Amino acid sequence: MDGSVTVLSSPTVSVRLTSAASSFETNRRFNRGITIAEFKCKLEMIVGTTAAYIDLELFSTSDKFLQKLDNNEALLGSYPVDDECRIHVTDRSGTQSAEFTDLSKVDKFEISDEAYEKRGDSIRTFKKNLKLGRFNEENRAKQEEALAKKEEEEKVAAGSIAVGNRCKVEVVGQPSKIGTVMFVGTVDFKPGYWVGVKYDEPLGKHDGSVNGKRYFECEPKYGAFMKPLSVIVGDFPEEDYGLDEM
């Protein structure tokens, strides 16, 4: 052995695919050992274009044009295709962009609600007969009862929270956050009772205003609205997240 090292590239490559026939972009992994002709065949199901009408252009990871992939017998790996490069697909068959996705070009059948109600072969009739969804009065009554109970619990919880209280916000699947209660009551943007919280650090979503209406004052990204049952009032000292040092 002469001490030399042979570096083998990965047998597969992950590329970004774009198409002139649609506005999509997707990431797919391909074997470098397939020919360009085989590569075009694999693209048929992805871009909806027949392989014979596909032209390919290779772009770098920074979207700089590199070259055309125009030799059907060449291997994909013979071109400078690296992970996260972009390959743009052009359809030479004449397919227009959004031809199959623009619903404004589709003829629509319209029927009045009264006429639809009388039809015996409709989805609505099917659901009525089987008492599904909103047509299941028993389930609907239970759902309404559960909702009313939840709203009452939220109202009671809101009554035990006061502006100025220190609090901890706990939501399942999210880290706990410490802050100060700035608002308690109803809001315009959603039904029910809400608690406006100013977090100790910029872990929120706004500055105390939502949809142009101000509910309380705080710095941007410090404010949030939470349901009362997610807010725990207590003696919570201000925490130092170390964000000022970043």
- The proportion of the chain whose per-residue pLDDT surpasses 90, expressed as a percent, equals 49
In the chain the first and final C-alpha atoms are separated, in Å, by: 50
pLDDT of residue 102: 56
CA distance 39 to 15: 12
CATH 3.10.20.90 fits 12-91, yes or no: yes
Q: Does 80 score more than 80 pLDDT?
A: yes
Q: Which of 16-20, 78-82, 100-104, 118-122 comes out lowest in average pLDDT?
A: 100-104
Mean pLDDT value across residues 74-92? 91
**Parallel/antiparallel/unpaired status of strands 166-169 and 177-186:** antiparallel
Entry field: residues in the chain = 246
pLDDT of residue 1: 43
CATH 2.30.30.190 fits 159-237, yes or no: yes
In sequence order, which residues have a C-beta less than 8 Å from that of residue 57 and are 6 or more positions away?
65, 67, 68, 69, 87, 88, 90
pLDDT of residue 94: 63
Domain boundaries, the chain: 12-91, 159-237
Residue type, 75: L
